[in-house]
Amino acid sequence: MPDSPKNHKASITIWYCHLAQPFDQARLALWASWLDPQETARMNRFHRQAHRVRFLVSHAMTREVIARQCGATPSCIEFRALAQGKPYISSPTALQKYFFNLTHSHDMAAIAISDSSPLGLDLEWLGRKGPDVSLAGRYFTQREYKDILKQPAHLQHQRLLRYWTLKEAYIKAEGWGLSAGLDSFEFILSDTKPPRLHICKPQATPRHAWQFQQFKLKDSHLVAIAGVAQQGETLQTDCTAWSP
């Protein structure tokens, strides 16, 4: 599996941030002032302070990254969600051409942004204990499950996470939720080529010409990205640490 992509002119930019690092109170207060009432209510529903801070930092990163790329003010951005829950920028109108996707796992958050086409992003901590490999037998395709079982025992869980993150990225990109079924499509993995999507059932037929990339981030997290590339082009991504 390749390491993080090298920096180059990118059609999709990914920003990431360690959520467990210390942040001073003045900065946290500033970020809290950026949130809209719905975000503030969601943050306050967390009982533990550490979870509220992680929510705040990830959402502040989302607003700051979008504002930086679009030339806007973080607090002026308004979000809405589609019926399936996928968020989009509703205001200012000039920013509605931008697509983004936020994900987090353990102590890391990441946001992908594009100014031209939809996308999907998923992030998983490689140190997590679950899900059990048997989950793939119930919810993945048989080809994917057999491929997981073919791997050495100590690599099976990582193989499962490779499929899991790709499936999550595709579902997020299409905005389906889990309604399509994880066995309605599958991925063909290669150590030398990008993952390939194969459709098993009509309800998973893509609406865009998706390409996929997958890489390790800081050797601790696995990232999968789904993006649109024009015919004959290769999906380009740029991955950068967020420095507020």
pLDDT score, position 1: 54
pLDDT score, position 9: 43
Instruction: Taking the CA atoms of 194, 199, 204 and 207 in sequence, report the sign of the dihedral they define.
Output: positive
Amino acid at 212: F
pLDDT score, position 82: 81
Q: Considering the entire predicted model, what is its pTM? A: 0.91
* Structural fold of domain 12-241: Ribosomal Protein L22; Chain A (3.90.470)
Q: What are the backbone dihedrals phi and psi of residue 96, each rounded to the nearest 5 degrees, phi first?
A: -70, -15
pLDDT score, position 184: 96
pLDDT score, position 2: 46
pLDDT score, position 240: 94
135-148 confidence digits (pLDDT tens):
999 999 999 999 99
pLDDT score, position 212: 96
- The structure tokens listed for 13 are 């930019």
What phi-psi label fits residue 179: left (phi over 0), alpha (psi between -120 and 50 degrees) or beta?
alpha
147-156 confidence digits (pLDDT tens):
999 999 999 9
Task: Look at the block and give the residue holding tokens 């050495």.
Answer: 152
Contact 168, 122 (CB under 8 A): yes
Cα dihedral value 168, 171, 172, 175, nearest 10: -160
Positions of the chain with pLDDT under 50: 2-10
